[in-house]
Amino acid sequence: MHKSKLAGFIIDCKTDDLKSAATFWSAALGMETRELPGAEGKKYAKLIDPEAYLDVEVQLVAHESRVHLDIETDDIEAEVLRLEKLGAKRLQQIQSWWVMQAPTGQKFCVVRVYDKDFAKRARNWD
């Protein structure tokens, strides 16, 4: 059986200034900002959780600003199917992850495992 957990939050910002957005959220949440390399760094800034439990990123978007959560899993397709049985809908596949919508309207993403320690622990859960 596959394993899943809350990976973190993505702060979607409709802005032309990623650095200012990341600076605000870094200060607001008490988290250090880390620039990401290459093309990824033009769209995302990573905020470092001092406890290293959650992935928190500031993301440039074209839609209205909002916060969405990511569910990480060791089997994306199995998790998407499980969530569909609960009433969620697939909206769009982007690279390796799925954007989904809860029956209550919130959008969220199902993503591959970020936390390598989680992947190790998940294998031992059965």
Q: pTM of the entire structure?
A: 0.71
The pLDDT of residue 51:
79
The pLDDT of residue 123:
44
Helix (H) or strand (E) segment spanning residue 33 = strand 32-35
CA-wise closest residue to 12 among 102, 108, 79:
108
The pLDDT of residue 28:
83
Side by side, the strands of the sheet bearing 4-13 are 32-35, 44-48, 55-60, 4-13, 66-73, 107-112, 97-101, 89-94
The pLDDT of residue 6:
85
The pLDDT of residue 50:
82
Instruction: Could you please state the CATH topology (level 3) that the domain comprising 4-123 is classified under.
Output: 2,3-Dihydroxybiphenyl 1,2-Dioxygenase; domain 1 (3.10.180)
C-beta separation of 111 from 7 below 8 A: yes
The pLDDT of residue 115:
56
Q: Report mean pLDDT in 10-residue bins for the chain, 126 residues.
A: 88 93 90 91 91 86 91 94 94 94 89 64 43
